[in-house]
A and B are shown apart, each in its own frame.
Chain A
Amino acid sequence: MHSYALRVNTAVTLAIMVLAVLCSFVSLSDHFHASSPHVHLEVLSIDAFQRQKAGNDEVWLTLNISADFSSVFSWNTKQLFIFVAAEYVTPKNVVNQVSLWDAILVSKNHAKFSIKTRNKYSFVDQGNNLRGSDFNLTMYWHVMPLTGAMYTEKQVFSGFRLPTE
């Protein structure tokens, strides 16, 4: 009835239950964390516009990205994965999302920044629809917790247009 094994079993089971309940409470607490990040995206210049051998349009551009994500961090935030995606519609595709730049923010202290950067990943279309086309730039922040559920939020900046030449 009160054997050694039984006591260990009970203690371990209780410990796991308590940990599980604690983890879910910590994860739930993220729902009550209000954040108000500031983001500003700007296209400084279109640096190159070319057609690849395969026939796809490719664009190189310079972005100005300034943001303050410090309010997004809660006690259960391990890191933010932030990225800027170009989003546009073509006759062939209803959705085109091309990630141009990303970064990992690991602490509140480094969550405020402003950088001028070339696109880190190639901005290539499936086809040659980019000339003169409109596109949005969207800043996404993916909140990765110490434990529990992850979530993503975004802010869309619309009204960018690629040159016809």
Chain B
Amino acid sequence: MGMIGDAVAAVRGTNVRHLLMQVISLGLIVSSALIIWKGLMCLTGSESPVVVVLSGSMEPGFRRGDILFLHMSKAPIRAGEIVVFHVDGREIPIVHRVIKVHERNDTGEVDVLTKGDNNYGDDRLLYAQGQMWLNRHHIMGRVVGFLPYVGWVTIIMTEQPYIKYILIGALGLLVITSKE
């Protein structure tokens, strides 16, 4: 009787420990991902250090599914740089090249005009109604590096959400059931 009771207690004990270990390892994975993302934000000074190209407006330089690394330094914005910018009233940021720059003498404020390499005209049609120029606060970062194809993972996951749920479910199951 006592022996069986001990065995049950032992099994219960290991199960609870096991479960705790799984929860902790899951927490470690999530928090290390968060640390990497926030660390990159600090290093690059940009609110989103990595973006995925969603349109073909910069082809053949950037194609849909390419990953771009952004950097936002204090350095002034100059013609030829590829910047990521927000337009009021549009949710998705745009990645285009700066073709005109006018920097004010007294205030240092810049007026910037952008254009997609693969687009025929400049971006004034994409800006908010009546907006002629982008200013510093519209710009989230400039593109410094490039990695092809990797962004397809996120494009597929946002466009086919059930794949995302299947993937998250499978990963979760793997973490919970794994013995090591």
A85: which of B76, B79, B110 is its contact (CB, 8 Å)? B79
> Is B111 a contact partner of A79 (Cβ separation < 8 A)?
no
A92: which of B79, B104, B122 is its contact (CB, 8 Å)? B104
> Is B145 a contact partner of A150 (Cβ separation < 8 A)?
yes
- In the assembled complex, the CB of A103 is this many whole angstroms from the nearest CB of chain B, namely 10
B146: which of A102, A106, A144 is its contact (CB, 8 Å)? A144
> Is A1 a contact partner of B144 (Cβ separation < 8 A)?
no
Q: Given A93-B104, A99-B99, A126-B102, do A140 and B146 touch, yes or no (CB 8 Å)?
A: no
Residues of A1-29 whose CB lies within 8 A of B: 1, 3, 5-6, 23, 27
- In the assembled complex, the CB of A25 is this many whole angstroms from the nearest CB of chain B, namely 14
Which chain B residue lies CB-closest to A125? B102
> Is B103 a contact partner of A93 (Cβ separation < 8 A)?
yes
Q: Complex formed: what's the CA distance from A33 to B112 in Å?
A: 32
Q: Which residues of B contact A83 (CB under 8 A)?
A: 79-80, 99
Q: Which residues of A contact B79 (CB under 8 A)?
A: 83, 85, 97-99, 140
CB of B174 within 8 A of chain A? yes
CB of A71 within 8 A of chain B? no
Q: Which residues of B contact A118 (CB under 8 A)?
A: none
Q: Which residues of A contact B99 (CB under 8 A)?
A: 83, 98-99, 102, 121
B80: which of A91, A106, A121, A142 is its contact (CB, 8 Å)? A142
Interface of A is mostly: strand
- In the assembled complex, the CB of B155 is this many whole angstroms from the nearest CB of chain A, namely 19
Q: Complex formed: what's the CA distance from A94 to B78 in Å?
A: 12
Size range of the interface on A? 35 or more
- A38-62 interface code vs B (CB 8 A; 1 in, 0 out): 0000000000000000000000000
Q: Complex formed: what's the CA distance from A152 to B97 in Å?
A: 13
> Is B144 a contact partner of A93 (Cβ separation < 8 A)?
no
Q: Which residues of B contact A6 (CB under 8 A)?
A: 180
A98: which of B61, B100, B145 is its contact (CB, 8 Å)? B100
Q: Complex formed: what's the CA distance from A99 to B143 in Å?
A: 19
- B137-180 interface code vs A (CB 8 A; 1 in, 0 out): 00000011111100000000000000000000000001000101
Q: How many residues of B contact A (CB 8 A)?
A: 30
CB of B101 within 8 A of chain A? yes
> Is B122 a contact partner of A121 (Cβ separation < 8 A)?
yes
Which chain B residue lies CB-closest to A124? B100
> Is A97 a contact partner of B180 (Cβ separation < 8 A)?
no
What 5 pairs between A and B have smallest CB-CB spacing? A95-B103, A99-B99, A97-B79, A97-B101, A149-B145
Interface residues of B (CB under 8 A from A): 60-61, 76, 78-82, 97, 99-105, 110-111, 115, 117, 122, 143-148, 174, 178, 180
10 A-B pairs besides A95-B78, A95-B103, A104-B60 with CB distance below 8 A are A1-B180, A78-B60, A79-B61, A81-B80, A93-B102, A96-B101, A96-B103, A97-B101, A121-B100, A142-B80
A-B contact list, 23 entries, CB within 8 Å: A1-B180, A5-B174, A85-B80, A92-B105, A93-B103, A94-B105, A95-B101, A95-B110, A96-B102, A97-B78, A98-B79, A98-B99, A99-B80, A99-B99, A104-B61, A140-B80, A147-B146, A147-B148, A148-B145, A149-B144, A150-B144, A150-B146, A152-B81
